[in-house]
Amino acid sequence: MLAFVRDDDGDELREPGISQALAGIASLGFAEEYHYELAVVGGIAKPTLEGWILCLLGVTGTDEMTRAHAARELATTEVEPKSTAQYVAIAETRTLPSGDSSLPAWLARADTTFCQLIDGVDPP
């Protein structure tokens, strides 16, 4: 399994390009000659990865924020921008969000993929 997240970096073609690539990979399915299934969970962190950190901190409406707004919002917290250690600590200690924004949607795809690969079933 390959899991990734990417900011769009202001490139309007990035999200449709990633979606198209993921659809192409999904259509490949089981690679019989290699005896494995290629599973990829990918997506765009909206508006940035910092938006997802804010979402984990309980801030709502992060997908609709501009990159600058997310940066200003993060600056009101004690989280250092681009601090991998702090981002990981937040992800490990927070309740995962629900809803239909980009982070919960990515988490749902990851959960489904893990359940299929590990247990051979869809999640409950």
d(CA 45, CA 51) in angstroms, rounded, equals: 7
Residue 1 pLDDT exceeds 90:
no
Q: What is the pLDDT of residues 14-28, one digit of tens each?
A: 999 999 998 887 777
Please, are residues 47 and 54 in contact by the beta-carbon 8 Å criterion? no
User: 10 Å Cβ neighbour count for 74?
Assistant: 20
Tokens linked to 25: 């990979």
50 CB-contact burial (10 Å; exposed 0-12 / middle 13-18 / buried 19+)? buried
Q: What is the pTM of this model?
A: 0.84
Q: Residue 101: left if φ>0, alpha if ψ -120 to 50, beta else—which one?
A: beta
Residue ranges of domains in the chain:
2-119
Q: Is 32's pLDDT higher than 80?
A: no
Segment 43-76, tens digit of pLDDT: 999 999 999 999 999 999 999 999 999 999 999 9
* Residue 42, pLDDT score: 93
End-to-end CA distance of the chain: 20
The per-residue pLDDT for 38 is: 72
